Each structure stands twice: as C-alpha cells, then as structure tokens.
Amino acid sequence: MTYRIGVDAGGTKISAGLVAGNRMIKKIKIPTEQGRGRNQVIKNILKAISIVSQGIKKKEIEMIGIGLAGPVDSRNGILKVAPNIKGLQNLPIKKIIEKTLDIKTIVENDAKCVALAESRQFRCKNLIALTLGTGVGGGIIIDGKIYHGSGYAGELGHIVIDYKGYKCTCGNNGCLEEYCSGRGVERLAKKYFGKAIHPLEVQRRAEKGNKKAIRVYNEFGAYLGIGLADYVNIFNPEIIVIGGGIGRAWRLFLPSAIKEMKKRAFEVSSSSVKVVPSKLEVDEAGILGVSLLN
C-alpha cells in the first residue's frame, strides 16, 4: 500500500490528511502558532505530518504535498509572498521538509490545489476555481493540469473591478478580493447594519430571513458576478467552482452572481458555463488537491 500526505498550512491552523488513491482516510488539524516564529511553524507542519502518518511505514509514503496561501515558486518549493503566514516567506520549505524527513515534497499554492481537486471531482479538464475566504484565491485548470504561466499565474482574486476602488492588501486598487472575501462581507455588513458583524453571523441572519443580511449577500454576489464575467470572457471555461469558507454561503450569493455575470459576459460563453459550489469540504479540497501533485 502507498500513501500520500497532503498538508494545508494556513495562518491559524495546519490541516493534514492521509490519502490512499483518491480517498482521504485520516485527517487532523493543529494550530499554526505563527506568533511563536517560523521555526515553530515548520515544527508544527512536521508534527502534523507525523500525527497523520502514525502507523505508516516511511517507505509507504510516496510524497508530501504542502499547500500555502500566496504565490508559490513550486519548482523550488518556496512561498514568495506570504500575506497570511509571514514567517514562511522566502523559506525553502520543500528543501527543509525533504532534508528532515527524506520524503519527496511538493509545495504549491493552496487555491491551485483546490482547483485540481475539484477538476477531478467534476471530471472536467477546463475549469476555474475561486476560493472565497480571508482572501480570494484562484486556480486555473487547463487540459487537466494546473496552469502556472511563468510560475505565478492564477491570482484570480487580484483582477481590478474598480480601478479607483478600495486599496487591496496586495497594493493594487479595486481588486475583486476586496469585494468578495471575508473583508468584503464585513464592509457590506457595515453598510447595511451600520456596524461590523462577522461573516458567519451575517450568513446565519440571512439564512433566517433577515432582509439586511440578505441584501449583503445579494450585493456581494453582484460583485462576484463582475469577476465571473471577466473569467468567462477570458477563459470560456466549462465550469467555475466556488469554494472557500465564505463560499459556503453560496446559496445566498450565487443567484445574484450568475445574474450579474450573464448580464455582462458574451452570451456565446456565458450560456454554456456552469457556476457551481465546491463539491468538497473546504478542508478536504486543499489537502486532496495537494496530494494529487507530482
């Protein structure tokens, strides 16, 4: 029996899974402990790998995949820009893990891994995935493979929908991410409720029928639809998958997003695209995806 280990290392927690074939047979989660420095973060990644692979012989582990938020130099296994896990920026993670464990390790952008996992789920070789969460991640699957361009392609959250718009954490202005991430929900909650409310609470209220909360997600969806129209015009993909923690509220915003997209995109392309929620759980998608790399 051979296994693959997928690790999704985020700003607050590290999830790891043991994968056999296409099935995840074990999954764990531990804190990232960013505040304790980069060495501790690496220690915790190694700890997560060790916990999830308990009882498995080392020679049975084919590879370790590590998914990280931000542009990843996957050839060298280095996270180049680390908005959420600053300590890992420019650290040769692949080398460190391989040297420590002597197991082949691949490092990749987390949203790209989600896109890959979803493309297998949907049996679709031309697919765009968006992960709506703290930020907006993106992955482009062309002919069944992750599209990298010269290395860092797929930053789909960082397309401009209003060039004079809100300053984005990336330095640009008016990025889709500012409208369609957790920050976007919070900003809209402020607009409609007059105060900051956590996205999960807004979602809860909307699901209970609160009109203001419903309006928050309608407007959120309209912004998302602008971005979707861009992707449809650029890629004419078969499927656009919406994932990520904020994406869990898809029932609340997908109708207005699709409506706006259809209003804006070329009909030849918009008529055939399917915009759908992720088939996998948020945790699962990244772990499964990163375990599919080679």
Q: List residues binding a second copy (CB under 8 A).
A: 71, 73, 80-81, 126, 138, 140, 142, 147-156, 158-164, 170-173, 223, 226, 229-230, 233-238, 263-266, 268-269, 272-273
Min CB(209)–a second copy separation in Å: 28
Which residues, at least 6 apart from 149, have a Cβ–Cβ distance to it below 8 Å? none
Min CB(147)–a second copy separation in Å: 7
Q: Which is nearer to a second copy, 260 or 283 (CB)?
A: 260
Number of other residues whose CB lies within 10 A of the CB of residue 242: 25
Q: Which is nearer to a second copy, 118 or 155 (CB)?
A: 155
Counted residue by residue, the chain has a size of 294
Min CB(25)–a second copy separation in Å: 35
Q: Measuring CA to CA, which residue among 59, 64, 91, 56 is closest to residue 77?
A: 91
Min CB(292)–a second copy separation in Å: 21
Residue 267 structure tokens = 């009909």
Do residues 69 and 81 make contact, with C-beta atoms less than 8 angstroms apart? no
- 144 backbone φψ class: left, alpha, beta (φ>0; ψ -120 to 50): left
Do residues 78 and 95 make contact, with C-beta atoms less than 8 angstroms apart? no
Min CB(257)–a second copy separation in Å: 13
Q: Which is nearer to a second copy, 152 or 193 (CB)?
A: 152
Q: Which is nearer to a second copy, 165 or 277 (CB)?
A: 165
Q: Which is nearer to a second copy, 62 or 238 (CB)?
A: 238
Give dist(CA 68, CA 78) in Å, integer.
10
